[in-house]
Amino acid sequence: MDVADVLAASKHCIVFTGAGISAESGVPTFRGPGGLWERYRPEELATPEAFARDPELVWRWYKWRQEVVYNARPNPGHMAIAELEALGVVKAVVTQNVDGLHQRAGSRRVVELHGSLWRTRCAKCGAVYKLERPVDEVPPRCGKCGGLLRPDVVWFGEPLPRGAWNEAVELARISDVVLVVGTSGVVYPAAYIPHIAKEGGAVVIEINVEPSALTPMADYFVRGRAGEVLPQIAEGVKKRLRTR
Ligand code: NAD
């Protein structure tokens, strides 16, 4: 059996993605080159401590990230995943990404484990705001109480949103195939998701340009760029579904 056979025969396939799926859209991964921001480590900016110390610096980084994503488009990897969902093969995407590119590609059931760049949350009163475009002023302020707004994302050391986590665990438990794409698999608890699926008997297929921390537990490892490999796999799945 090859990967397309496994997917075409699956009953409940989920996709687990990380920053690598968006790399070909021009959105830097945390380990890739970040231009202007290369001299900062994400671990020094994506923390509650960094925000308390220097909210303007943290917001300048997030505004830059929002602008990069705003000017980016979903790539053929995102599109192939959305197509597999439309075909009824993929049931949901569980993502560590905060960029919203899966939704823009047409994926309907997307569980965001680490929040979204496209929401802010008041650090004082908790009000949540949706964003259509990057913030103007940094740091932005709450329209209700005047408090500091923060990006509605999960920072290092913070718990995951309970609803998203529970949904992802449930999806992993009932899945028979998990397609792991573009993640280094070192950020926990998110990286438990493929392990939970595997413990429940799921077949793990990984796509990455290089081996990751999850490769040892993968049943299939496809080395390559998500934007090239995923459309080929989707084509293979379509062929198999047609000849059934
Ligand atoms: P990571 O930066 O730790 O790892 C990226 C992985 O993608 C690596 O294993 C790399 O080999 C792989 N990769 C790079 N280009 C690829 C390609 N074209 N095709 C396939 N694989 C490719 O990212 P992570 O594992 O997601 O963990 C970092 C944390 O930071 C996560 O929470 C992540 O979501 C967040 N983050 C999100 C974004 C985003 O929303 N786009 C960007 C950067 C970081």
Q: Give the model's pLDDT for residue 32.
A: 62
Of 239, 190, 197, residue with least CA distance to 219: 197
Q: Give the model's pLDDT for residue 237.
A: 98
Whose CA is closest to atom 25 on ligand 1? 183
Q: Give the model's confidence band at 147: pLDDT under 50 very low, under 70 low, under 90 confident, else very high.
A: very high
- Whether 4 shows a pLDDT value over 90: the answer reads yes
Catalytic: 114? Answer: yes
Q: Give the model's pLDDT for residue 137.
A: 92
Average pLDDT, integer, range 7-30:
96
Q: Give the model's confidence band at 44: pLDDT under 50 very low, under 70 low, under 90 confident, else very high.
A: confident
Q: Is the CB of 102 under 6 A from ligand 1?
A: no
- Whether 96 shows a pLDDT value over 80: the answer reads yes
Whose CA is closest to atom 6 on ligand 1? 183
Q: Is the CB of 94 under 6 A from ligand 1?
A: no
- Whether 34 shows a pLDDT value over 80: the answer reads no
| C-alpha span between 175 and 172 (Å, rounded) | 5
Q: Please provide the DSSP assignment of the chain as one string.
A: --HHHHHHH-SSEEEEE-GGGGGGGT---SSS--GGGTTS-HHHHSSHHHHHH-HHHHHHHHHHHHHHHHT----HHHHHHHHHHHTTSEEEEEE---S-HHHHHT---EEETTEEEEEEEETTT--EEE-SS--SSSS-B-TTT-PBEEEEEPPTTPPPPHHHHHHHHHHHHH-SEEEEES--S-STTTTHHHHHHHHTT-EEEEEESS--TTGGG-SEEEES-HHHHHHHHHHHHHHHHHT-
- Whether 31 shows a pLDDT value over 90: the answer reads no
Q: Is the CB of 184 under 6 A from ligand 1?
A: yes
Query: pLDDT tens across 199-212, in order?
Result: 999 999 999 999 99
Residue 186 CA: nearest ligand 1 atom is 25
Between the CA of 142 and the centroid of ligand 1 the distance, in Å, is: 31
Q: Is the CB of 213 under 6 A from ligand 1?
A: no
Q: How far is CA 142 from CA 60, 125, 228, in A?
A: 17, 8, 42
Average pLDDT, integer, range 35-55:
87
Q: Give the model's pLDDT for residue 38.
A: 77
Q: Is the CB of 187 under 6 A from ligand 1?
A: yes
Q: How far is CA 144 from CA 121, 122, 123, 126, 129, in A?
A: 11, 9, 12, 10, 11
Q: Give the model's pLDDT for residue 33.
A: 63
What value does the mean pLDDT of the chain take? 96
Q: Give the model's confidence band at 244: pLDDT under 50 very low, under 70 low, under 90 confident, else very high.
A: confident
Annotated catalytic residue, options 12, 102, 114, 195: 114
ipTM, interface predicted TM-score of the complex: 0.95
Please state, for a pLDDT cut of 90, what percent of the chain lies above it: 92
Average pLDDT, integer, range 92-97:
98
229, 222 contact by CB (below 8 A): yes
